Chains A and B, each alone.
Chain A
Amino acid sequence: GQNIDQPTEMTATEGAIVQINCTYQTSGFNGLFWYQQHAGEAPTFLSYNVLDGLEEKGRFSSFLSRSKGYSYLLLKELQMKDSASYLCAVVIYNQGGKLIFGQGTELSVKP
């Protein structure tokens, strides 16, 4: 079976750094996505990792370790607008590129 785990909720302070972890056990792997979803809005693409290592994009960075089945999303200099749900999704190669999502991590940024 396919299993993707993320913490359900996290709280952090404005200006701080927060790391959201995602672990996966899947049959087949062709990359991992992070999406951001504000309440009542569409999920929007943040990052895609297929090789091991860190990808940096402004205040957001995403890391992948394929051997450990582990990824994290790092958010720096947190702003109130970063309060949202963060979705981890794995591309299952042997299922034709299907995306399997985790349940999402609800991040609350407090002043």
Chain B
Amino acid sequence: ETGVTQTPRHLVMGMTNKKSLKCEQHLGHNAMYWYKQSAKKPLELMFVYSLEERVENNSVPSRFSPECPNSSHLFLHLHTLQPEDSALYLCASSQAGLGSGANVLTFGAGSRLTVL
């Protein structure tokens, strides 16, 4: 596999469920990101990991919990979500992390989350 792979592609969950989104990059990049994409809204940066260390937490509610066990894998753990959290969650990676100037992001295709 090449690029950035996200699973699952679609997820429906109730407000009391616990689920996780997974992202894997096969590019040898050092930084990984979670973005939220809601309809008709700009992409919102949620979290950034650089060399497995979280370097950005963009005032995201604690019901979203990221995990980066190594430089190739990134998870987003979901717990007690609200219907307004329904969105497309995009993972991305870049060669260098924040503070390294402009980085070209390589995105995954996203996980479409619906919270009932």
Instruction: Report the interface size for chain B: residues with CB under 8 A from the other chain.
Output: 23
Chain B residue at minimal CB-CB distance from A95: B98
Q: Which of A6-34 contact B (CB under 8 A)?
A: 8, 30-31, 33
Tell me the count of chain A residues lying within 8 A, CB to CB, of chain B.
27
- Bound complex: CA of A44 vs CA of B105, how far in Å? 8
**Which of B13-21, B40-48, B60-68, B73-81 touches A?**
B40-48
In Å, the complex CA distance between A106 and B15 comes to 32
Residue in B closest to A103 when the chains form the complex, CB atoms: B42
A53 to B40, CA, bound (A): 29
Pick the residue among A8, A44, A45, A98 that contacts B56 (CB under 8 A). A98
Determine whether A75 belongs to the interface, using a CB cutoff of 8 Å to chain B: no
Shortest CB-to-CB span from A34 to chain B, Å, is 11
> Interface of B with A (CB < 8 Å)?
3-4, 40-43, 45, 55-56, 90, 98-110
